[in-house]
């Protein structure tokens, strides 16, 4: 249960996550603040994977024996759960991939190669993760498209007036992240998508950071494509989702060939399978797909509305605590309507040193550019330290973070 009464930001969920119940060093309990990179897994998710391997390990879709039928049913049941989780009209519109990055690449190199021509405009933002930058650069080397970027303002929000000016270029695509993995900014996705559609563009939404932390409804957003990963939302690594509107997915050619994505094969031709299988070549990550369904079960049991509210309380509490430390420079919006991601710098102390010293206190944070080098360049930073919170964290973890930062400052002074 997540508790918010009278500002008491605590929970009793940590017991569900075996990895959190340990001392990372003698007398230093693990305080995990790196969920923006990858979340921890509850026992129920671990059990789901173990149950598959112990009791019905088999390949799916083509087998007719008992193990294969049980594995297929469990795998496709997870797809149904995922579809309901994001309110997709049909489970067949949810393609299993390895992660958000592969989902983005699938759209860019399938839909993009078919529909984009030299000179076509694609609008991104200055805060994008590399998975929504590098594939476009690769495509640009083959098709000389024009990349334009919505500016990020000093407070970490998008320049929406600048976006409206870019839309006058009549873009074919607007691709952006719903929540920044560096700044915690929650972008106005519905408005960005509406304006893009009015300009005749399709939209691709990177939901890697948003889907685990807030309700995301693809019908309400009217988004054309949504990409997200299992490992950031209590699920295993190696499993992700690409949601797409039916007409767009049916029009897209497959980019991987092999088993399961075909109906028939001849020596000189083949016919492609129906959705979603046309994009799922070869044996998939079966155990991971099944366990992602277990992660969905856990999140829905807690409640996505409750998780969002709880994390906003952590943000409010965190701002009040960390602002007491004069040496800390926080990046991103200072309002409370944002994700529980805190990227910061300490003057004269390298982020890697900060992370290493915090680690000695049992506090796991991330240091680096967080796969957002252009954004760090905009802030004239080679790197930053990032503490990211999830439903298993509470105010005591933030207290420990602040105490650790003060200790780092004292050491360097």
- Residues noted as catalytic: 371
Average pLDDT over residues 117-131: 97
Q: What is the 3-state secondary structure of 273-300?
A: CCCCHHHCCCCCCHHHHHHHHHHHHHHH
Kind plus residue range of the DSSP H or E element containing 202: strand 202-206
- Domains of the chain, first to last: 2-32+303-412 (3.90.1150.10), 46-300 (3.40.640.10)
Burial 16-30 (b: 16+ CB within 10 A, else e): bbeebeeebeeeebb
Total residues belonging to the chain? 413
pLDDT score of 145:
98
Mean pLDDT calculated for residue range 387-392: 97
Query: What are 397's two structure tokens?
Result: 């973890």
CB 87 within 8 A of CB 211: no
Judged against a pLDDT cut of 60, whether residue 330 lies above it is answered with yes
Instruction: Return the SS3 of 109.
Output: helix
Distance, CA of 127 to CA of 206 (rounded, Å): 12
pLDDT tier for residue 161 given thresholds of 50, 70 and 90: very high
> Can you say whether the dihedral through the CA atoms of 341, 346, 349, 353 is positive or negative?
negative
77-117 pLDDT, tens digit each: 999 999 999 999 999 999 999 999 999 999 999 999 999 99
Tokens 């997200």 locate to 228
Which are the contacts of 389, defined by CB distance < 8 A and separation ≥ 6?
Answer: 33, 35, 311, 314, 318, 340, 341, 342, 397, 398
**What is the pLDDT, as a whole number, of residue 314?**
94
**What is the distance between the alpha carbons of residues 199 and 194, in angstroms, rounded to a whole number?**
9
Q: With pLDDT > 70 as the criterion, what percentage of the chain qualifies? A: 98
In this prediction the pTM is 0.96
- Percent of the chain at pLDDT exceeding 90: 87
């Amino acid at each position: 249960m997540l508790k918010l009464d009278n500002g008491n930001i605590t929970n009793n969920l940590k017991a569900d996550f075996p990895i959190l119940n340990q001392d990372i060093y003698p007398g230093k309990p693990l305080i995990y603040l790196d969920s923006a990179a990858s979340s921890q897994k509850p026992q129920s998710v671990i059990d789901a994977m173990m149950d598959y391997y112990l009791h019905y390990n088999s390949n799916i879709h083509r087998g007719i024996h008992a193990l294969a039928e049980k594995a297929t049913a469990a795998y496709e049941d997870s797809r149904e759960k995922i579809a309901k989780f994001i309110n997709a009209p049909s489970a067949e519109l949810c393609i299993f991939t390895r992660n958000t990055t592969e989902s983005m690449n699938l759209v860019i190199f399938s839909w993009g190669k078919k529909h984009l021509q030299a000179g076509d405009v694609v609008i991104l933002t200055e805060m994008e993760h590399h998975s929504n930058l590098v594939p476009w650069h690769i495509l640009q080397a083959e098709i000389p498209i024009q990349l334009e970027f919505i500016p990020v303002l000093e407070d970490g929000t998008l320049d929406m007036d600048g976006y409206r000016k870019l839309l006058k270029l009549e873009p074919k695509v607007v691709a952006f992240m719903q929540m920044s993995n560096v700044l915690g900014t929650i972008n106005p996705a519905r408005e960005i998508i509406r304006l893009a559609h009015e300009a005749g563009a399709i939209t691709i939404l990177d939901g890697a950071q948003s889907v685990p932390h807030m309700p995301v409804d693809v019908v309400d957003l009217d988004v054309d494509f949504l990409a997200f990963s299992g490992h950031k939302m209590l699920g295993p690594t190696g499993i992700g989702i690409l949601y797409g509107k039916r007409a767009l997915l049916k029009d897209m050619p497959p980019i991987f060939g092999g088993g399961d994505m075909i109906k028939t094969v001849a020596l000189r031709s083949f016919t492609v399978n129906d959705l979603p299988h046309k994009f799922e070549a070869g044996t998939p990550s079966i155990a991971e797909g099944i366990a992602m369904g277990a992660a969905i079960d856990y999140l829905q049991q807690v409640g996505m509305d409750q998780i969002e509210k709880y994390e906003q309380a952590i943000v409010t509490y965190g701002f009040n605590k960390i602002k007491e430390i004069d040496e800390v420079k926080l990046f991103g919006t200072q309002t409370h309507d944002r994700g529980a991601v805190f990227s910061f710098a300490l003057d004269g102390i390298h982020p890697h040193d900060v992370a290493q010293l915090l680690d000695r206190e049992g506090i796991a944070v991330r240091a680096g550019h967080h796969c957002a080098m252009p954004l760090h360049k905009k802030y004239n930073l080679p790197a930053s330290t990032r503490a990211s919170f999830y439903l298993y964290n509470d105010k005591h973890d933030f207290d420990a973070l602040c105490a650790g930062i003060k200790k780092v400052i004292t050491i360097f002074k």
